[in-house]
Amino acid sequence: MKGDFWKEFGDAAGVFQIGEVDNGDPAYVGPYQNYLTATLNYPFYWTFHDVFGQKKSMKAITNRLAQEVCCVIVCR
């Protein structure tokens, strides 16, 4: 659903909203923080899945963290 819906719904309901935006791209997930009270960190989830479940390089964790810091600065 579009972010505007969640913002209006949350304001009208007066509730804490945590969203599951199941996507590995911080640039996609990040903007939802403007509409919801909180989001689960699926980009990090998928990175951990790849590193520990698919035996990818541990460097991916460092790269993901750098990517998320950059997205927070741009998205906010």
pTM over 0.85: no
In order, the DSSP letters of the chain are --HHHHHHHHHHHT---EE----S-HHHHGGGGGTSSEE--HHHHHHHIIIIIS---THHHHHHHHHHHHHHHHH-
**pLDDT of 59-70, one tens digit each?**
999 999 888 776
What residues contact 76, with CB distance under 8 A and at least 6 apart? Answer: 33
**pLDDT of 3-54, one tens digit each?**
889 999 999 999 999 999 999 998 888 899 999 999 999 999 999 999 999 9
